[in-house]
Amino acid sequence: MRIRSARKMNIQVADTSDVKNGHDNKAVGTQLPTRTFSVIVPTWNEERWLPILLNAITREPSVSEIIVADHSSSDDTVRIAVDSDCRLACGGLPAVGRNAGARVAKEDILLFIDADVKVTCEIFNVLMAKFQDPATSLVYFRMVPDSDQFFVKTAYKAADLYARLCGLLGTSQGSAPLIGVRRHAFVEVGGFDERVSAAEDVDFIRRVGRQVGGVKYVRSTVLHVSARRFDLEAGRSYSVKCVIWGLLRWMGFRASLMPYKWERYSK
């Protein structure tokens, strides 16, 4: 049976009507509760990737709840979320979905995770360690693509270099399919800017760094991600877009100039 959206199922959907800088330092401070994180996953036709992610997250004792903010998926994404006892929120584009999930989350530390990310217990251990320090507001990781293509690996190395250079220039900024952030920091900056159509994560990290501080970019522990975007768009064209978006976010502009290609990924 195909599930068109959460609204067509006989389930309860969460009401979403309400709505310095540092690099890889050792964390010390107060003890966090055992179940610390509210995980928020924005989805749109993620039946291929979501089961893998949920299988990893549901085994993690530090996770209190998983909220899937779905954008009217036409595949089995919602069914998978329900079968895994996830809470549901009505999502949209990534910024909309993340904000919707944050509004109904219960914990004080929010984890925004894209469906195609491969999380490990090491990632959660690092997050727990970093957030022991009360001065830490946001944590994100160096990305490594699951790809053998030289150009793709080089592109991600360039993204790492970009994040490091921004840090040296006093600006916390970088692309991040997994972001851990304290609720007070999320609220202080107004969440993800839903007017930003591409690289909204880059914009969010920059604003937390400038307005709140305490941003940690972790390089010693890597986050493995899919390279599916390079399968959907020509690699060089997409890389040029990323450079333009990164520069625009660094200058504080919301405009994207070159559109993000919203299209269902192949199975």
48-61 pLDDT, tens digit per residue, is 999 999 999 999 99
User: Is residue 261 domain-resident?
Assistant: no
Q: What is the tally of structural domains in the chain?
A: 1
Q: Is the pLDDT reported for residue 88 higher than 90?
A: yes
Nearest to 218 by CA among 169, 158, 178, 171: 178
- State the average pLDDT over residues 62-91: 96
Q: Per-residue b/e over 136-145, b at no fewer than 16 CB within 10 Å?
A: bbbbbbbbeb
> Which band of pLDDT confidence, cut at 50, 70 and 90, is reported for residue 13?
very low
User: Is residue 140 domain-resident?
Assistant: yes
User: Is residue 266 domain-resident?
Assistant: no
User: Is residue 244 domain-resident?
Assistant: yes
Residue 266 CA neighbour count, 13 Å, CB half: 7
> Which band of pLDDT confidence, cut at 50, 70 and 90, is reported for residue 26?
very low
User: Is residue 264 domain-resident?
Assistant: no
What's residue 212's pLDDT?
97
214-227 pLDDT, tens digit per residue, is 999 999 999 999 88
Least confidently predicted of 100-104, 152-156, 181-185: 152-156
User: Is residue 73 domain-resident?
Assistant: yes
User: Is residue 255 domain-resident?
Assistant: no
133-155 pLDDT, tens digit per residue, is 999 999 999 999 998 999 889 98
Q: Is the pLDDT reported for residue 170 higher than 90?
A: no
Range of the domain at 182: 6-250
The token duo for 202 is: 């880059």
State the DSSP H helix or E strand holding residue 187, giving kind and residue range, or none if neither: helix 183-188
User: Is residue 1 domain-resident?
Assistant: no
> Which band of pLDDT confidence, cut at 50, 70 and 90, is reported for residue 99?
very high
CATH number of the domain encompassing residue 217: 3.90.550.10
